[in-house]
Chain A
């Protein structure tokens, strides 16, 4: 057994800040929507939602820069290698205590399912939420300038809300799947400290 740095400092800050921002965005968003959450009060929830959205976008700009400059973006390139094995692992293997089919490596820390899920998150859900959010915020201006009909705001809102529910579902699945590591807390610990214990010494050579 040995320890490797799986998640860089920036990566961890980015991850947890993003998690926190998204969770508060969810809470404020659902409060504004009128889904029975009364944490901040409508006016504060609206202000907070808008400000946090800008904070999240800023954070994402930094994250994109980090991914490009470090080459870490390659971690998210989808692959079919081990895809079938991963699906099989989650469907049956995991119950029987079969070892994880994909070993983590500094340069390949995401399994093929993670790659797909996170890529979808990054190129689909976040852009859709950001775009519909911006359209929503600037709707009065757009309506004025482009003559948009009132029903287009309804449409923007529906997409934004469905995206939000999608994020909640993502969060549920994401948190659950963190428990599928060596022990239920292995993955979360790695995301907090950056270090992960690798239990298969022969498999990789970090040197």
Chain B
């Protein structure tokens, strides 16, 4: 007997199917980035109202700060400060802002006043200290006779001036036109302007050295720097680079940059230099995005480009081409954008705004070469001055964005070490910028630096890596997945691991496609024969 034909409840079937479809779509939508509720990331006004509220002293009320101070007499101001802050100078003297020297792995000499070398101005110890020391947190650093133990030589104002009128000149002395008493009565905690006075101008000019630090940060829109922009969180450098007894967290020579610090005892001052210190290590709503934290630095996605402000950063500095004269005189050439492409003083240069970083495995350790270290020139002819340490296998290493700074600089061809030429000096002094003679400038520089020199020099290509960590963009500007997960993406050349979307074994795809094509061919032929038979 037959069953009576049951009417299939198509509506029920449809509803069930629709249900199955909608469920995953709804879940899929839940994974999309959603604007999170405002979580009190702060504002410039809130932050600075709070900072001002906490102050317990109005320095304009202190008699000793009324002055008068002699024009340019910085040490007199310091003596006044020290009458109350009796231990402040002592604290500053223990820091690298004062010593310009850092020890690393039990070795000394990783600092400007010692044997660190770079491929911008090269080194200061070959007789250039006086002009470079306008960024020293002290007064009178002219040469190696400087008394590093004299407390009144500490420059309080460079970090604590709140007026923005403070200015340093040669050997770090204040510009004589500065009303010191007025400034002294208005001191306060360092702001971005204080730090920026030196750190924005590394390499001899605004934006030159770092790429992610320049004066445009002071008036940055939120799109340039979400943290420091007054439209963003309005933070100061010292909000992350915290200090403990004047020791400010951060010398990149010795501290792994992305290590989240935990206080070892209640009240210990820990640096907030790692993003995770504030944002935790899982700040995204998406589990998959959060897992990138294991191997990808936050900076990699959140700083799509550096030098996004008004100014270009220096990407290449070719000392070997310096010294050309026109009619016996030094000259400069600029390109259409007004960027300096050649200067007799510096050689050929390359400048760029809005630069895409290069990406490298990095565990926080840059292995700096010093003037005292000999090196071998690799096959590609380029010596890396600070090779980063790290690989996929290194659990502390992440893919980090860097500014690569290329250069050509003099070295001792016999000893295979870099040299510290005497560059800044007038005509007749023997300095390179006076007499345009490398032979003399290097010999004099190495003598001043008390370093051995064979007398023979040459030029070698060098590369230096600058970790990019400032100029964090708003999250809407974070890199899209395919910036890296694609064959010609930003990570096209990062070795040591399989990357989804980048590493497509073409053989595998060919095999798979072949399999599919053969099937299509098979059913096609079969179908065609059937069709022909039917027609027949």
- A interface residues, Cβ below 8 angstroms from B: 2-5, 9, 12-13, 16-17, 20-21, 32-35, 42-44, 46-48, 50-52, 54-55, 59, 90, 94-97, 140, 144, 150-151, 153-154, 157-158, 161-162, 164-166, 168-169, 172-173, 176-177, 179-180, 193-195, 206-207
Main secondary structure of the interface of B (DSSP, over half): helix
Q: Is B325 an interface residue (CB 8 A)?
A: no
Q: Are A34 and B501 in contact (CB under 8 A)?
A: yes
CB-CB under 8 A from B505, the residues of chain A are 154, 158
Q: Choose among A95, A144, A154 the residue that contacts B530 (Cβ–Cβ < 8 A).
A: A95
Given A176-B523, A176-B526, A194-B8, does the pair A51, B512 have CB atoms closer than 8 Å?
no
Question: Closest approach, in angstroms, between the C-beta of A165 and any C-beta of chain B?
Answer: 3
Q: Are B23 and A55 in contact (CB under 8 A)?
A: yes
Question: Closest approach, in angstroms, between the C-beta of B522 and any C-beta of chain A?
Answer: 8
CB-CB under 8 A from A47, the residues of chain B are 28, 31-32, 286, 288
CA distance A132 to B497 in the complex (A): 18
Interface mask (B470-490 → A, CB under 8 Å = 1, otherwise 0) = 000000000011100111000
Besides A33-B501, A42-B480, 13 other A-B contacts (C-beta < 8 A)? A4-B3, A5-B3, A17-B16, A51-B27, A51-B31, A55-B20, A55-B27, A95-B530, A140-B291, A150-B498, A151-B498, A161-B512, A172-B520
Number of B interface residues in the complex (CB < 8 A) = 59
Main secondary structure of the interface of A (DSSP, over half): helix
Q: Is B513 an interface residue (CB 8 A)?
A: yes
Tally the A-B contacts, defined by beta carbons under 8 Å.
143
CA distance A136 to B222 in the complex (A): 38
Q: Are A34 and B486 in contact (CB under 8 A)?
A: yes
CB-CB under 8 A from B515, the residues of chain A are 165-166, 169
Q: Is B6 an interface residue (CB 8 A)?
A: yes
Q: Are B21 and A20 in contact (CB under 8 A)?
A: yes
CB-CB under 8 A from A97, the residues of chain B are 533
Q: Is B24 an interface residue (CB 8 A)?
A: yes
What are 10 sample pairs from A and B whose C-beta atoms fall under 8 A apart?
A13-B13, A34-B502, A42-B482, A50-B288, A95-B530, A150-B392, A157-B503, A165-B511, A173-B523, A179-B527
Nearest B residue to A173 via CB reads: B519
Would you list which residues of chain B between 7 and 36 have a CB under 8 Å from chain A?
A: 8-9, 12-13, 16-17, 20-21, 23-25, 27-28, 31-32
Q: Are B28 and A17 in contact (CB under 8 A)?
A: no
Q: Are A195 and B512 in contact (CB under 8 A)?
A: no
CB-CB under 8 A from B482, the residues of chain A are 42
Q: Is B55 an interface residue (CB 8 A)?
A: no
Which 4 A-B residue pairs are closest in the complex by CB-CB distance? A165-B512, A176-B523, A47-B31, A154-B498
Given A176-B527, A195-B8, A206-B2, does the pair A32, B520 have CB atoms closer than 8 Å?
no
Given A42-B480, A172-B520, does the pair A9, B13 have CB atoms closer than 8 Å?
yes
Q: Are B1 and A172 in contact (CB under 8 A)?
A: no
CA distance A34 to B499 in the complex (A): 12
Q: Choose among B2, B294, B519 the residue that contacts A169 (Cβ–Cβ < 8 A).
A: B519
Nearest B residue to A13 via CB reads: B16
CB-CB under 8 A from A95, the residues of chain B are 529-530, 533
CB-CB under 8 A from B27, the residues of chain A are 51, 54-55
